[in-house]
Chain A
Amino acid sequence: MFLLRLALASLANRRFTALLTVFAIALSVCLLLAVERVRTEARASFANTISGTDLIVGARSGSVNLLLYSVFRIGNATNNIRWDSFEKLATHRQVDWAIPISLGDSHRGYRVMGTNEGYFDHYHYGRGQSLQLTQGERFHDLFDVVLGAEVAEALNYKLGDKIVLSHGVATVSLQQHDDKPFVVSGILARTGTPVDRTLHISLEGMEALHVDWQNGVPARGAGKVSAEQARHMDLQPKAITAAMLGLKSKIATFAVQREVNEYRGEPLLAILPGVALQELWSLMGTAEKALFVVSLFVVLTGLIGMLTAILTSLNERRREMAILRSVGARPWHVASLLVLEAFSLAAAGVVVGTALLYAGIAGAQGYVQANYGLYLPLSAPTPYEWTLLGAILAAALLMGSVPAWRAYRQSLADGLSIRL
């Protein structure tokens, strides 16, 4: 133990350099851990978004594309699918339940989704959890809207508030549907999925919004249809964007998927969400690995900086070593002093780096959640993270052996008066 105290006392003598070294290592450790955390949380949040849905059906584009716009509300659909195609799916003998969804509108940057009651019954996420309402109830009236938790919090909406929906999916919309305001009828509990960032209206409400938009622009004059008039019109949707299906038997999945893909009525695509998610991850996998390797090199740079600092100080400390030798220290004492020094610097760097990480997460949590939909928890380090930290300390020990070896050789040769 006295060796450790000696090492720390020696470091205290050079505290400015030591602090800089610790800070460099701390930053690199923080970067490595942050990259790992964001990567793991992003994967977890993707995996958690949907569960229990056997097939997702949409217009024929690509499997990853369909998954992204139907489940994650990223990107846009290329085409819609006809209502009668959806009805054929819903009444198929192997299909247990079918949820229609309709996309294309937004409200202050949050996407609006038209669907039916089945969504609240059958949509599951995480480990088979279903959607719960914290306030109010599902949409009953034509112009009711149910908000996701994030939307209600960020925009400060309560039950009964009137909302005007906008056309298109940009954050700032130039075209509003202000003749048909919607009323908040319910607010959903937080799920940690894109559901939180969505406003849910009925399919008929979606039709009512666009009943006088037949040419892609709002009608003027006599063509205008007011909210009251819309109520009395036939609001059966003619097309929807996508559908989520649950099958009676999982073994039938491939057969139904094949049937949908071969359907001659219109070009459709059916995907298995699990498989499409795997394809998405294999796309991102290369980028993730590259990011990890870069962070590892940054940590290596920090450790080499520590090595450089110790080596350059070695020459000035030859007298210090000689004095220690003269009071009875053996050469291996001197060597282990240096190894301990390297270890203490790295340990301090790791501790400060981890503290920086948690401080960073605590500070940026809200911002990241609001802008990227990614929730970073303040949880204890995982076994994998402990392994990474342990490996960094082991590397520091190895690096410490280089100046230790030099000091060992020098202390054998030096007397009290150093010939420089």
Chain B
Amino acid sequence: MRRVLLTALLLTLVSPLWAADLRTLNWQELIPKDAPPQVPQMTPMHDMSQLGDALSEGGAASLQQFPSAPVVKEMDGQQVKIPGYIVPLDVTEEGRVTEFLLVPYFGACIHVPPPPSNQIIHVTTELGVLLDALYQPFWIEGPLKVEHSSSELAEVGYQLAADKIYPYELPAN
């Protein structure tokens, strides 16, 4: 009995250390420091000189996408806490979102340039989160997984199985 109590005491002393393992991330840290700067293509989006092309039957292919953006492999397995906006992928019948993409800014869901693949986290959660509005940011906590692949076809990216999700409040001034 005394042994059990002693172990319990030790564990409670140690747990703050475990909690301290939680790392608050900002989105810049998800881009490796040595990644080449991605220069966007300078062709204007509304170039009317191409209109003739677009109207003909075989339209030109769309702008070439960037190859898969590099990821920070050292993040794999770390407990992280990161704020972001939720883009729902799967919704249960009670209206809880169980699978979503976390992005750094709202408006990734409409046709503005999408964030590159190292600025998107694919999050799954068991309980799901009630999404009142698309523009509400949330804190997500959980272990980050980094999928790394060198092939062109497999999309590399960050995955997270969320432990805690709660709304992000701006600190009161």
Interface residues of B in 103-124 (CB under 8 A from A): 103, 108-109, 111, 113-115, 117, 120, 122
A59 to chain B, nearest CB (A): 15
Q: Are A251's CB and B62's CB within 8 A?
A: no
Chain B residues positioned under 8 Å from A94 (CB to CB): 155
A51 within 8 A of B: yes
Q: Are B101's CB and A259's CB within 8 A?
A: no
Q: Are B134's CB and A252's CB within 8 A?
A: no
B109 to chain A, nearest CB (A): 5
* Chain B window 117-135, contacts with chain A (Cβ cutoff 8 Å), 1 for yes, 0 for no: 1001010000000010110
How many Å lie between the Cα of A271 and that of B146 in the bound state?
27
How many Å lie between the Cα of A128 and that of B40 in the bound state?
38
A43, A51, A265: the one within 8 Å of B90 (CB): A51
The segment out of A2-10, A70-78, A274-282 that lies at the interface is A274-282
The segment out of B2-10, B24-32, B92-100, B162-170 that lies at the interface is B92-100
B61, B94, B111: the one within 8 Å of A261 (CB): B111
B70 to chain A, nearest CB (A): 14
Q: Are A274's CB and B97's CB within 8 A?
A: yes
B157 within 8 A of A: yes
Q: Are B93's CB and A250's CB within 8 A?
A: no
Q: Are B62's CB and A254's CB within 8 A?
A: no
Chain A residues positioned under 8 Å from B58 (CB to CB): 265
B53 within 8 A of A: yes
B62, B89, B94, B117: the one within 8 Å of A44 (CB): B94
Chain A residues positioned under 8 Å from B114 (CB to CB): 254-255, 257-258
A237 within 8 A of B: no
Q: Are B90's CB and A248's CB within 8 A?
A: no
A141 within 8 A of B: no
Q: Are B153's CB and A93's CB within 8 A?
A: yes
B77 within 8 A of A: no
A133 within 8 A of B: no
How many Å lie between the Cα of A45 and that of B95 in the bound state?
10
A171 to chain B, nearest CB (A): 29
Describe B's contact surface by its main secondary structure. Answer: loop
How many Å lie between the Cα of A52 and that of B90 in the bound state?
7
How many Å lie between the Cα of A43 and that of B96 in the bound state?
11
Q: Are A274's CB and B65's CB within 8 A?
A: no
A54 within 8 A of B: yes
Interface residues of A in 237-257 (CB under 8 A from B): 248-255, 257
How many Å lie between the Cα of A198 and that of B6 in the bound state?
66
A163 within 8 A of B: no
Interface size (B, Cβ < 8 Å)?
Answer: 43
Chain B residues positioned under 8 Å from A249 (CB to CB): 154-155, 157
How many Å lie between the Cα of A262 and that of B87 in the bound state?
21
Q: Are A251's CB and B117's CB within 8 A?
A: yes
A252, A277, A281: the one within 8 Å of B155 (CB): A252
Chain A residues positioned under 8 Å from B122 (CB to CB): 250-251
Chain A residues positioned under 8 Å from B91 (CB to CB): 47, 274, 277
B117 to chain A, nearest CB (A): 5
* Chain A window 214-257, contacts with chain B (Cβ cutoff 8 Å), 1 for yes, 0 for no: 00000000000000000000000000000000001111111101
Closest A residue to B54 by CB, please name it.
Answer: A264
Chain A residues positioned under 8 Å from B89 (CB to CB): 54, 250, 253, 272, 274
Q: Are B93's CB and A274's CB within 8 A?
A: no
A181 within 8 A of B: no
A297 within 8 A of B: no
Q: Are B62's CB and A278's CB within 8 A?
A: no
Chain B residues positioned under 8 Å from A51 (CB to CB): 90
Assess A275 versus B65: contact at CB under 8 Å? Given A264-B53, A264-B60.
Answer: no
Closest B residue to A276 by CB, please name it.
Answer: B109
A415 within 8 A of B: no
How many Å lie between the Cα of A249 and that of B89 in the bound state?
12
How many Å lie between the Cα of A93 and that of B151 in the bound state?
12
Chain B residues positioned under 8 Å from A266 (CB to CB): 59
How many Å lie between the Cα of A43 and that of B95 in the bound state?
7
How many Å lie between the Cα of A51 and that of B91 in the bound state?
8
How many Å lie between the Cα of A332 and that of B152 in the bound state?
82
Interface residues of B in 55-87 (CB under 8 A from A): 57-63, 65, 87
How many Å lie between the Cα of A281 and that of B94 in the bound state?
13
A281 to chain B, nearest CB (A): 8
B62, B109, B133: the one within 8 Å of A262 (CB): B62
A43-B95, A258-B65 known; 14 new pairs, CB 8 Å cut-off, are A47-B91, A93-B153, A250-B101, A253-B101, A254-B108, A254-B115, A254-B120, A257-B114, A258-B113, A263-B62, A264-B54, A264-B61, A278-B88, A281-B95
- What are 23 A-B residue pairs whose CB atoms fall within 8 Å in the complex? A47-B91, A47-B93, A48-B93, A54-B89, A248-B153, A250-B89, A250-B99, A251-B155, A251-B157, A252-B117, A254-B114, A261-B111, A262-B63, A264-B50, A265-B54, A265-B57, A265-B58, A266-B59, A272-B88, A272-B89, A275-B88, A277-B88, A278-B131
- B-side residues, CB < 8 A to A, are 50, 53-54, 57-63, 65, 87-95, 97, 99-101, 103, 108-109, 111, 113-115, 117, 120, 122, 131, 133-134, 152-155, 157-158
Closest 4 CB pairs of A and B: A254-B114, A265-B59, A274-B88, A249-B155
